[in-house]
Amino acid sequence: MSSVWDRCMQWWQETVATPPRVQADRQQDGSVASALSLLGGKEEIDLPGQRLRIERVIAQGGFAVVLEATDARDPSHKFALKKLLAHDRERLDLIKAEIKVMLSARSPAEVLLLMELCPGCVIDVVLSHEQGVPAHTIKSFFTQAADAVSFLHAQSPPIIHRDIKAENFLLTHDNVVKLCDFGSCTTETIDPAALDYRAKMATAERLEAMTTPQNRSPEMLDLFSEQPINEKLDVWALGCLLHVLCHRVHPFEDGAKLAIVNVKYKVPQSSQYAAFDHVIAERLFVKDVAARATAQQAKDAVAALDI
């Protein structure tokens, strides 16, 4: 089995504050022994110009494991070390899309990523505020999140994240928001009007496999509406994010197709977040893709609120 190393200081990684779906696969003890068993028993790993000491398991899933590592020469420097397994070409292609490196597909591969370790997650902040997240915190978190998405969309061609949600925004010690989990990213846009019935159904099935049900936009669920599927789907998901930040529940918790397609969701009558709710309804949850705000416009709209 070959190993490919690439130090990636990108805006993503898994952390101690892992999303619920990752927590379900968390190691029971998170011990050093568990961590070492996942790296062939090695206590230290050499990278070009750096040696790492493996400390513990953070999280483990079917295709990846995340470990906490420290600089062997300076233990105060902590990192997240993510190991990804590619058992076939399809999985290898997914890894390529996620980390943007060229890998050989001649044999199974093991990929290790060394990244910044973020100690927090936006969803944990939301859940810890039973009386609601302060408006100024919501404003800060959302504008930073939208800025990250806008950066992706400004690339040529635009990069579509396709998995924007509170669990995928991490926090540094000083509450800088960082977007993570690029495994569903694509630069592909889809024009359903150009597809026949069979192609529409196949495309719908493919989108279903790559995206989170609650965060799918109307055009992704109803290809027969023939609305373009492009980076604006991330803006719809930003609307879901802002609703979660305000109300601590997802607007489409069950991922019900009819509710999303018809934009039917509940807002508390005595909402203390009316200004944010207005941005969601008027700028983000817009079925007409062309009329929906861009990520930059979403950021600007919230930044302009007098909160």
| Mean pLDDT to the nearest integer, 257-285 | 94
Q: Which residue has the higher pLDDT, 261 or 32?
A: 261
Two structure tokens written together for 156: 């040529």
Query: How many of the other CB atoms lie within 10 Å of CB of 90?
Result: 9
Give the model's pLDDT for residue 28: 38
Angle in degrees, CA 149, 152, 156, rounded to 5: 150
pLDDT beyond 80 at 111? no
pLDDT beyond 80 at 153? yes
- Do the bridges between strand 2-7 and strand 109-116 make them parallel or antiparallel, or are there none, so unpaired? parallel
Regarding whether 249 and 153 lie in a shared domain, the answer is yes
Give the model's pLDDT for residue 227: 97
Regarding whether 220 and 261 lie in a shared domain, the answer is yes
Strand ranges in 72-203 using DSSP code E only, listed in sequence order: 78-86, 109-116, 120-121, 169-171, 177-179
Q: Kindly report, residue by residue over 204-253, the tens digit of the pLDDT.
A: 999 988 888 999 999 999 999 999 999 999 999 999 999 999 999 999 99
Regarding whether 297 and 280 lie in a shared domain, the answer is yes
CA distance linking residue 105 with residue 297, whole number of Å? 41
Regarding whether 208 and 59 lie in a shared domain, the answer is no
CA distance linking residue 116 with residue 94, whole number of Å? 22
Regarding whether 70 and 184 lie in a shared domain, the answer is no
Helices 135-153 and 295-303, axial angle in degrees (round to 10): 160
CA distance linking residue 85 with residue 87, whole number of Å? 6
Give the model's pLDDT for residue 13: 36
Tell me if 119 sits within 8 A of 173, measured CB to CB: yes
pLDDT beyond 50 at 141? yes
Position 288, amino acid: D
Query: pLDDT band for position 303 (50/70/90)?
Result: very high
pLDDT beyond 60 at 108? no
- Catalytic site includes residue 163: yes
| Mean pLDDT to the nearest integer, 43-70 | 79
Regarding whether 142 and 243 lie in a shared domain, the answer is yes
Query: pLDDT band for position 98 (50/70/90)?
Result: low
DSSP class of 139: H
Could you tell me the CATH number of the domain that includes residue 68? 3.30.200
Domain-terminating residue out of 117, 148, 181? 117
Give the model's pLDDT for residue 97: 63
Regarding whether 150 and 56 lie in a shared domain, the answer is no
Position 143, amino acid: T
Claim: this prediction has a pTM higher than 0.85: no
Helices 232-247 and 135-153, axial angle in degrees (round to 10): 170
Query: pLDDT band for position 296 (50/70/90)?
Result: very high
What's the mean per-residue pLDDT of the chain? 81
Two structure tokens written together for 237: 């998901």
Domain-terminating residue out of 83, 117, 151? 117
Helices 295-303 and 232-247, axial angle in degrees (round to 10): 30
pLDDT beyond 70 at 23? no
Give the model's pLDDT for residue 101: 32
Tell me if 289 sits within 8 A of 223, measured CB to CB: no
Q: Is 292 exposed, middle or buried (0-12, 13-18, 19+ CB in 10 A)?
A: buried
Regarding whether 128 and 165 lie in a shared domain, the answer is yes
As beta bridge partners, residue 279 has none
Question: What phi, psi does 51 have (nearest 5°)?
Answer: -120, 135
Regarding whether 184 and 72 lie in a shared domain, the answer is no
Least confident stretch, 9-13, 36-40, 151-155? 9-13
Task: Give the residue among 231, 226, 251 at the shortest CA–CA distance from 241.
Answer: 251
pLDDT beyond 80 at 124? yes
CA distance linking residue 277 with residue 161, whole number of Å? 23
For residue 19, whether the previous peptide bond is cis, meaning omega lies within 30 degrees of 0, is: no
| Mean pLDDT to the nearest integer, 8-19 | 32
Tell me which range, 12-26, 103-117, 236-250, is most confidently predicted by mean pLDDT.
236-250
Query: pLDDT band for position 15 (50/70/90)?
Result: very low
In 183-231, where does DSSP find H-type helix? 197-210, 218-221
| Mean pLDDT to the nearest integer, 112-126 | 84
Domain-terminating residue out of 117, 149, 166? 117
pLDDT beyond 90 at 83? no
| Mean pLDDT to the nearest integer, 139-144 | 98
Tell me if 293 sits within 8 A of 284, measured CB to CB: yes
Question: Residue 288 belongs to what domain range?
Answer: 121-303
Give the model's pLDDT for residue 147: 97
Q: How many domains does the chain have?
A: 2
Could you tell me the CATH number of the domain that includes residue 296? 1.10.510.10
Regarding whether 54 and 129 lie in a shared domain, the answer is no
Give the model's pLDDT for residue 69: 87
* Annotated catalytic residue within 163, 181, 222, 234: 163
The residue written with tokens 């669920």 in the block is: 221
Sequence-distant (6+) residues with CB within 8 A of 153 are 159, 160, 231, 234, 294, 295, 296
Give the model's pLDDT for residue 167: 92
Regarding whether 37 and 151 lie in a shared domain, the answer is no
Regarding whether 142 and 194 lie in a shared domain, the answer is yes
